[in-house]
Structure 1
Amino acid sequence: MQRYQWNAEDYRQNSSAQQQWAQQLIAKLNLTGTEAVLDVGCGDGKVTAEIASYLTHGQVVGIDNSEAMIALANREYPTNRYANLLFQQMDARELEFSDRFDVVFSNAVLHWIDDHMQVITGMHQSLKPGGRMLLQMGAHNGMPKFMAALEQVLALPQWRDYFAGFSCPYGFKSVEDYQRWLPAVGFVIKRLELIEKHALHADAEAFKGWIRTTWLPYTGRVPQAKRIQLIEAIATQYLASSPADANGRVSVLMVRLEVEAEK
């Protein structure tokens, strides 16, 4: 997985959809308060801190491969105020734990990684016997309208040279993929589900903020001076086929893959 130069503060201000979905996913954990939890891809730490609030006698460790994200998380949630919360910089493909956690949790992260087998092998190793994992990520063919608009823009003469030989770097996987992989690693499948969600952005500017902060593999291909222009072009193309609603809100349909399994 390539290390992108995340702007952690910018992400924090443009990730409300991710946080809302994480809250819905946390509710499905039915935590008792005593668990040891691993949050894989913790980002700026706000979701990990929410998990910590449920763990009156437990602990959560958040890992992320972004130095900027971990630095922000440590500033916002210091251990002297959050005794049951710890952040570590670590690659999800190289988890360094063994039989340590009751629960592994991950929200809106694993589609950033192509080789999921490495990740779920490490998750299995990290869990205690009988431990469980709950993951949610972007699914295969999960954003058809947005991806169509994106590809139309990249094919335009002013952009196409920057994307010569480029292919989508995201690891959007299917139910069938996980049906094969989980038993091979040693997991018992509890549930594999495709869930439709609408990422709702308050207005066109918020929508552009989402493109700016989460589509780094694409914006990073063009010179810094042209990135705002590219983001404007993508937003305009998308809104031409999927206009904002009467309140100015921009909706992006996303199909999510939800994975529940047990060691």
Structure 2
Amino acid sequence: MHGGSIITHAWNPDDYHRHSAAQRAWAHELIEKLALAGDERVLDLGCGEGKVTAELAACLPSGSALGLDLSRDMIAFARERFPPERYPNLRFMEGDMLDLPFDEEFDVVFSNAALHWVPDHGRVFQGIACALRPGGRIILQMGGSGNAAPLFEIADEMLAEEPWRGFSSGPSSRYAFYGPEEERELLEAAGLTPLRVELIGKDMIFDLLEGLMGWVRTTWHLYLEPLPEDVRPTFIEGVANRYVERFPPADGRIHVPMVRLEMEAVKGLE
């Protein structure tokens, strides 16, 4: 069983918006798998700066999409970028996915690249089950067991060396990268019927070293926040350079092996 509260961090919405192309591509794939009819009410958990929620809303001419995120800055960015007068079926809400306040309000719960920030998936699934109408469905994708392992190994290696060892004892907590079996059990315990729970390999590609560094800078909070702010750029550059030295690009581009945990489930009609 997983435990622990949501992992909270200070996000830079504009920087994330510029360095999240892979996450957006994976979200496109998830949206296609939903095969939306167009009249559903959809909840997007961990919506970030809102661009994926807006794409969901565009598929719902007779429905609506609500994006929820714990980051006040992300929600403020989303509301400014996607104002209600231009996007009448789209809204955003600051909130914690561990304490969802909904009661059978949604036909679909969607989440992309967010749940690996929340150790207690069982509690999230229970909230999702309450938020869904009978017969409602979920499709979720997040980092899974083995995600970006070679890059994280390099970061851990560096934190054990000087001068980084003097700044940090390493990440105080770990990303919630889990496997299918434990997740299937938690879905069932929450009253959701799993249809598909699987690990899927992905290739994250960067044309330039700066792209890899931008991704680390915008999402690796567990590694960066224990470090003094003025040395973080040097650490990021060191991780990226060491990775490229160890795994040289064969085609001129940098490849990071990702593992995504993807699941679909439905809420029973009883």
How does the TM-score come out when normalised to structure 2?
A: 0.94
Match of 2:12 among 7, 14, 20: 7
Per-residue deviation at 1:70?
Answer: 0.4
- The one-letter code sitting in structure 1 at the alignment partner of 2:266 is E
| CA distance, structure 2, for counterparts of residue 20 and residue 121 of structure 1 | 28
Match of 2:176 among 166, 171, 175: 171
**What SS does the aligned partner of 1:28 have?**
helix
Report what 1:125 is aligned to: 130
| CA distance, structure 2, for counterparts of residue 118 and residue 213 of structure 1 | 27
Match of 1:75 among 42, 61, 80: 80
Q: Deviations over 1:4-33 (max 9, x none)?
A: 111110000000000010001100000000
Are residue 30 (structure 1) and residue 12 (structure 2) matched? Answer: no
How does the TM-score come out when normalised to structure 1?
A: 0.97
Per-residue deviation at 1:149?
Answer: 1.2
Match of 1:40 among 38, 42, 45: 45
Report what 1:102 is aligned to: 107
Q: Deviations over 1:194-252 (max 9, x none)?
A: 110011122100110000000012111111110111101111111111123433x2111
For the aligned residue pairs, the C-alpha RMSD in angstroms reads 1.1
| CA distance, structure 2, for counterparts of residue 141 and residue 30 of structure 1 | 29
- The one-letter code sitting in structure 2 at the alignment partner of 1:188 is T
Per-residue deviation at 1:193?
Answer: 1.3
| CA distance, structure 1, for counterparts of residue 170 and residue 225 of structure 2 | 15
1:19·1:47 contact (CA, 8 Å) conserved in 2?
yes
- Point out where structure 1 has 5 or more consecutive residues left out of the alignment: none
2:170·2:223 contact (CA, 8 Å) conserved in 1?
no
Are residue 255 (structure 1) and residue 259 (structure 2) matched? Answer: yes
Q: Deviations over 1:160-185 (max 9, x none)?
A: 23332644421111101112111111
| CA distance, structure 2, for counterparts of residue 135 and residue 242 of structure 1 | 30
Identity %: 43
Q: Deviations over 1:69-105 (max 9, x none)?
A: 0001001100000000010000111111110000000
Report what 2:3 is aligned to: none
The structure-2 alpha-carbon separation of the partners of 1:16 and 1:188, relative to structure 1 and needing over 3 Å to count, comes to same
Per-residue deviation at 1:3?
Answer: 2.2
| CA distance, structure 1, for counterparts of residue 171 and residue 219 of structure 2 | 17
1:110·1:116 contact (CA, 8 Å) conserved in 2?
yes
Report what 1:214 is aligned to: 219
**What SS does the aligned partner of 2:163 have?**
helix
| CA distance, structure 2, for counterparts of residue 145 and residue 130 of structure 1 | 40
**What SS does the aligned partner of 1:32 have?**
coil
- Point out where structure 2 has 5 or more consecutive residues left out of the alignment: 1-5
Report what 1:196 is aligned to: 201
1:153·1:237 contact (CA, 8 Å) conserved in 2?
no
Are residue 116 (structure 1) and residue 121 (structure 2) matched? Answer: yes
- The one-letter code sitting in structure 2 at the alignment partner of 1:255 is V
| CA distance, structure 2, for counterparts of residue 161 and residue 154 of structure 1 | 9
| CA distance, structure 1, for counterparts of residue 148 and residue 97 of structure 2 | 24
- The one-letter code sitting in structure 2 at the alignment partner of 1:239 is V
2:23·2:112 contact (CA, 8 Å) conserved in 1?
yes
Q: Deviations over 1:8-63 (max 9, x none)?
A: 10000000000010001100000000000000000010000000111010000000
2:142·2:262 contact (CA, 8 Å) conserved in 1?
yes
2:171·2:222 contact (CA, 8 Å) conserved in 1?
no
